[in-house]
């Protein structure tokens, strides 16, 4: 028996399962998953549509293992990239033992409006129990939550409803307890020390993309994809990471690089610090900007970047 196999808890009452987190862009899905796991797994920015992939994060406790699936924000697709993002959300719901529909307490909409929303259409055919998670509780008055609960509960049979603040960790322990009750009795799927099944290359690319989202206005981030061209651990030296940043137009390339390379240098420095904190070791990071026109509409490039 290997060390990792010995690390997997497996009492007869142990619970394990998949939890899909869905909702509109920018309601805090990635922040919630990071909060529940206790470590940054999904990149987080103020811009909507930051999450493009189905991000898997794992929380293992003495009595359960929860495998969270952070999904892209649900929207009406405009590009082939958006189609791929919606496919990722749909597949997460199919895999899930529990589904969390997240809404923003400060901008909740109305339950009766949900018939026209992509999230509600998916929930209508969902067989798993669904929790309504009302996020950003810290930004509203407590009395404003009751009408939101009534509105949504009148339109869908949610298993449970949890007002939370993912940022302030308000209500998150109660949410974890509620999730644990709904998971099937099953041995852990992953070793106890696992936090995700994604590779270091994947997370490095995501962290670079996060810094691009944080620095630039809307046009640049949404036209950007990051691919790791080389990732080598060098004995006695810093790891070498070479990343290619793809944009759709020459003008975007110029903006991303900046005068005398200043903008790209800033992105690289911010990303390097984040990557070193994530990996726990020093790295040498090289960034190169390339142009591929309308890559968001091309299936072969979506496949190359891991969206298909």
User: Taking the chain (308 residues) in consecutive chunks of 10 residues, what is each chunk's mean pLDDT?
Assistant: 47 89 88 92 75 83 92 70 74 86 84 57 82 94 91 89 95 96 94 89 92 84 90 89 95 93 95 93 95 91 84
Determine which helix (DSSP H) or strand (DSSP E) holds 4, and give its type and residue range: helix 3-6
225-232/239-247 β-pairing: antiparallel
- Angle, helix 172-182 to helix 29-37, in steps of 10 degrees: 80
Bridge partners for 160 per DSSP: 131
> What's residue 4's pLDDT?
45
> What's residue 52's pLDDT?
67
Tracing tokens 């409803």 back to the chain, one arrives at: 161
> What's residue 79's pLDDT?
64
pTM, full prediction: 0.83
> What's residue 117's pLDDT?
63
* Cβ within 8 Å of residue 142, ≥6 positions away: none
> What's residue 110's pLDDT?
59
- In order of their start, the domains of the chain are 3-182 (3.40.50.300), 200-304 (3.30.300.20)
> What's residue 3's pLDDT?
43
Q: Cβ(89)–Cβ(54) under 8 Å? A: yes
Tracing tokens 């137009």 back to the chain, one arrives at: 249
Q: Cβ(15)–Cβ(180) under 8 Å? A: yes
> What's residue 306's pLDDT?
83
Q: Cβ(107)–Cβ(141) under 8 Å? A: no
> What's residue 23's pLDDT?
86
> What's residue 25's pLDDT?
84
């Amino acid at each position: 028996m290997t060390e990792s196999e010995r690390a997997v808890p497996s009492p007869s009452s142990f619970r394990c399962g998949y939890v899909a987190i869905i909702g509109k862009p920018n309601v805090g899905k990635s922040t919630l998953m990071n909060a529940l796991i206790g470590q940054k797994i999904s990149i987080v920015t103020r811009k909507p549509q930051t999450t493009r992939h189905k991000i898997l994060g794992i929380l293992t406790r003495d009595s359960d293992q929860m495998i969270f699936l952070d999904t892209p924000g649900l929207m009406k697709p405009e590009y082939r990239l958006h189609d791929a993002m919606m496919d990722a959300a749909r597949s997460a719901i199919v895999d899930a033992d529990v589904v969390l529909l997240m809404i923003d307490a400060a901008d909740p909409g109305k339950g009766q409006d949900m018939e026209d929303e992509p999230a509600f259409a998916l929930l209508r055919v969902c067989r798993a129990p669904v929790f309504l998670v009302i996020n950003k509780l810290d930004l509203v008055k407590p009395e404003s939550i009751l009408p939101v609960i009534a509105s949504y509960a009148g339109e869908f049979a949610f298993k449970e409803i949890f007002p939370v603040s993912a940022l302030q960790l308000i209500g998150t322990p109660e949410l974890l307890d509620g999730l644990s009750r709904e998971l099937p009795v099953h041995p852990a799927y992953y070793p106890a020390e696992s936090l995700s099944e994604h590779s270091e290359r994947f997370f490095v690319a995501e962290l670079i993309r996060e810094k691009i989202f944080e620095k630039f206005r809307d046009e640049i981030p949404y036209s950007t994809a990051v691919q790791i061209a080389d990732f080598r651990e060098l004995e006695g030296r810093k790891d070498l990471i070479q990343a290619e940043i793809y944009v759709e137009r020459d003008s975007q390339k110029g903006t991303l690089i900046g005068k005398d390379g200043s903008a790209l240098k800033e992105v690289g420095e911010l990303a390097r610090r984040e990557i070193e904190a994530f990996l726990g070791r020093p790295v040498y990071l090289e960034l190169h900007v390339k142009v591929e026109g309308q890559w968001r509409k091309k299936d072969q490039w979506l496949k190359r970047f891991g969206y298909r």
